Every structure is written in C-alpha cells, then in structure tokens.
Amino acid sequence: MSTRLRDAAVGHLRSLGAATGEGAVRRLTMDVEVEGRVEMVTLSLRDGKLQCVSSDARNDGPHVRAALQFVAGMETREDSSPPGSLVSISAQSPEQSSASELADALDDLLTAITRIGVDKAQHAPSVDAALERLIGAAPTPTPSGLGRFIGRLQQAIRSAELRRVARLLEGASELADALRATTPSPQAELRIGAWLGTWPGSTPDVELLHDRTMIEVGREWLSGTERASLERRYLIDAHSGGIYREDRLRNANASLGPCPRQLQVGLAEVEPGPNPKRIRVLQYEVEPDVPAESWDRLHQVASQSFVEITEQYRCALRSSPALCEPFALIAPFRIERNGGFKAFDAEGHQLVLDRSERRGAVLAFYDLLAQGIEPSWLAGRLTDTGTTVCLTPFAMGTFDGKYTRL
C-alpha cells in the first residue's frame, strides 16, 4: 500500500468536520465490496497514526485499499451529481445522537463477529475495534449491564460457545432496536434501563421495599470491561424467598458487612429488569452473625419444584437473552451421586448440579456430598447445556444449620 494513499486518507480524516466546527471524525466504519465480496473496514486515527482493519482480519488487503481510496477522494465516480443535503449533527438532540451512536456501535459489533465467525473472533482486530467503539459510545462510567454483557461476550468467544454468543448478540440487537425507537414501548424502556441504567428521557419505575430481613448467601467478582470488573452479591428475602442482586463496580460503594450476613433493611430500591433484580440498600442494619433460625428460614422459602425452576429459567432467557443470569434457591428432596450429581424434587424431576466453572469448588462440593452431608438448601446460578437446565452451586446449608460457601 502506497504511503501517498495513506497520507491522503489521514489528511482527509483530519479535515472532516473541521470546517463546520461540529467535531472531528476519529473513526470511520464502512461496508466495502470488492469482486463480489463485502467486508466491513474500520479506519481510525490514534495519536495521529492511521490504523486500518477489515473484517477478514487484514490491514492491507483490497477492501482496505478501496476504503482508503474512497476517503482520500480518489475513487472513480459514475455519478458526478452533487451530493444531497446532509442532516446536521447539531440538528439532533444529544439524547438522539448518543442513542443512535450506541445502536450503530452494537450493529457494528454484531456484523464484525458474524462475518469473522466465533472461532476467529477472539483475535480479530475488527472485533476489537467494534468493542472499543461500543465502549466509547456508552455513557461514562460504563453501565454495569453493558459492562457485564461485554465481559460475558468475551468469555463466550474465548470458549467458542456458539450458542451463548448467539444469545448475547440477539439481546444486543434487541437493545439497538429499542434505542432507535422514536417512542419506545414500555418493554423497550425496561430493556434500555436494564442495560444502561437511567438514560436521558427515561422514567424508571423503581420499586420501594420497607422493613425486610435479607440474608446474603454469597458474592463473587464477575468479568466486565477491562476498566471495570463487577462484584455481585446475592440477597434473599427471608420472608418471601425473593432473590436480589447488589452490583458494585470496583472502587464503588455498597452496603457494609462481610459475607454471609443478615440485613435488617429499612428502605431499599429495586430496579426493573431481569431476575435477580438489582437492589440498592439505602437504610439498613447489619448482623454479621446470621441466626440459626434465619438459615432454617431459607430452607422454608426455597423452591421445591424443579419444573417451576426450569420454566422460570426459560422465560427469563426469552425475555432477556443477553443479560439473563438467573439465581435460584432450592430445597432438594434427594441428591443422586452416581456418575455425577443431580438434585431431585419430591415428584422425581431432576436438576443437574454443575460446578464446571471452578474446578476447586467442584471438588469441595463433591467431597461434602461424598461424606454423606445432605444439603437442606442450595443456592446458585442457573445455566443450561442447550437442552438441560443446570444449577451451579454457590452456597449450601445443612440440616444442622451450618452454612457453607463453595
């Protein structure tokens, strides 16, 4: 590729937008067709240097050269008529502009992954550029919902989990449609709130809770963006059995106390969104030593029907395929230990117990069951293998009142 062509493209990128004072273009993404094959090409300026990449993972191929020729004004035009009038950026409200930019960034990410394929996406510069653009288009700091989506997507790509990647991209496409809606439906507003929190023009319907006893059964660090991992805490209402999550970005504040703990909640806000719903505890007292009767209470409010657990999981997956990470509290009727561990309810319906995510905890859990310990309740995240719903044990209680975090 000639230096002259690159220099011409750099000069044109720098000049774009400068004449009107409406901002300077830093990145361009376009679809380029060469010999019947279409690739997405991204051109960007970083520290004054031009970086080029196409969705076929090349930075100097025919699609990149065609894009540079277009930007530099060297392409041959069959139609020499003057271009039509453009909509000025300043004619759009900041809310419309940011929503449209974020929706476009989501579309670029979907296109980049689809074109390169999940098996090659991990090391594809086009996917990296699309993720970078998505983070740049998002509010600052990156909302926890969007950050968690990025972390899960990167993890699913590394594991080459095609089914999970497809679900995540389906949810991202739904968000893009919601952001572009002129008058978002109530469902679209809920979706935007779950991903982005409070958004300009949104009217979140926050539920208030008063005078509740909640027990935290576990917390974990989850992957997010490179700049922000996420701590998630799981709180269970000792009266209703409702499960909530308290999300905290690193270096951000959250309710006080170690895990496990009991909270006497005077006031809390619950955001609408996928289960477990996000909670903000505003007024509370901490009891670091959870009373034995509270552990017994968890056994009483735990779900004893695995058919209901399975159906709730499937409904959650349909309504929020990208952000769905259901957490369940179950009281198994019996545990089967032959060639793997399965929990059964009183009607004989099974729920596979899976700890493949953390091998050390798998062995610890297996050791406890091998010792003959019978859980009175189990708490953990729900996943699936495509056809079978599984519970990943996170914490457990025994009939003598003991609590074990796995």
**What DSSP assignment string belongs to 279-330?**
EEEEEEEEESS--HHHHHHHHHHSB--HHHHHHHHHHHHHH-TTT---EEEE
158 and 227 fall within a common domain: no
Domain-embedded: residue 159: yes
Domain-embedded: residue 192: no
Domain boundary residue among 180, 198, 217? 180
Bigger pLDDT: 134 vs 81? 134
Q: Give every CB contact of residue 50 below 8 A, 6+ residues apart in sequence.
A: 6, 9, 10, 13, 43, 44
45 and 112 fall within a common domain: yes
Domain boundary residue among 239, 266, 290? 290
Name residue, tokens 């991992």: 229
Cis bond leading into 82, ω under 30°?
no
Give residue 93's pLDDT band: very low, low, confident or very high (50, 70, 90): very low
Is 239 a residue whose pLDDT tops 80?
yes
Is 191 a residue whose pLDDT tops 80?
yes
Domain-embedded: residue 47: yes
Written as one letter, the residue type at 399 is: F
User: Strand 375-384 to strand 327-330: parallel, antiparallel, or no bridges (unpaired)?
Assistant: antiparallel
Domain-embedded: residue 198: no
Domain-embedded: residue 197: no
User: Strand 334-336 to strand 261-270: parallel, antiparallel, or no bridges (unpaired)?
Assistant: unpaired
pLDDT of residue 14: 65
pLDDT of residue 284: 95
226 and 280 fall within a common domain: yes
Task: Print the domain residue range for 371.
Answer: 302-405
Average pLDDT over residues 13-37: 66
User: Strand 389-398 to strand 350-353: parallel, antiparallel, or no bridges (unpaired)?
Assistant: parallel
Query: In this prediction, what percent of the chain has a pLDDT beyond 70?
Result: 81
Q: What's the structural domain count of the chain?
A: 3
Give residue 358's pLDDT band: very low, low, confident or very high (50, 70, 90): low
Written as one letter, the residue type at 128 is: D
User: Average pLDDT of the chain?
Assistant: 83
Give residue 85's pLDDT band: very low, low, confident or very high (50, 70, 90): very low
10 and 123 fall within a common domain: yes
Is 174 a residue whose pLDDT tops 60?
yes
30 and 142 fall within a common domain: yes
Tell me the two tokens of residue 183: 């008058």
Give residue 277's pLDDT band: very low, low, confident or very high (50, 70, 90): very high
d(CA 282, CA 255) in angstroms, rounded, equals 8
Q: Give every CB contact of residue 367 below 8 A, 6+ residues apart in sequence.
A: none
pLDDT of residue 89: 31
Buried b (16+ CB within 10 A) or exposed e, 224-253: bbeebbbebbbbbbbeeebbbbbbbbeeee
116 and 146 fall within a common domain: yes
Name residue, tokens 């670029």: 108
Average pLDDT over residues 273-281: 92
pLDDT digit string, tens, across residues 95-116: 555 888 999 999 999 999 999 9
Average pLDDT over residues 210-229: 87
25 and 139 fall within a common domain: yes
Domain boundary residue among 263, 290, 317? 290
Is 76 a residue whose pLDDT tops 50?
no
pLDDT of residue 394: 85
Bigger pLDDT: 68 vs 75? 68
Q: Give just the sign of the alpha carbon dihedral 357, 361, 366, 368.
A: negative
Domain-embedded: residue 173: yes
114 and 42 fall within a common domain: yes
Domain-embedded: residue 162: yes
258 and 351 fall within a common domain: no
pLDDT of residue 300: 95
7 and 119 fall within a common domain: yes
Average pLDDT over residues 390-404: 85
Is 328 a residue whose pLDDT tops 90?
yes
145 and 253 fall within a common domain: no
Domain-embedded: residue 193: no
Q: Give just the sign of the alpha carbon dihedral 97, 100, 106, 107.
A: negative
pLDDT digit string, tens, across residues 286-323: 998 999 999 999 999 999 999 999 999 999 999 999 99
Chain-centroid distance, C-alpha 337 = 34
Average pLDDT over residues 152-181: 94
27 and 146 fall within a common domain: yes
Average pLDDT over residues 9-20: 60
Bigger pLDDT: 358 vs 302? 302
d(CA 389, CA 65) in angstroms, rounded, equals 49
Average pLDDT over residues 264-278: 93
Nearest CA to 109 among 84, 126, 94, 96?
126
Give residue 75's pLDDT band: very low, low, confident or very high (50, 70, 90): very low
pLDDT of residue 208: 94
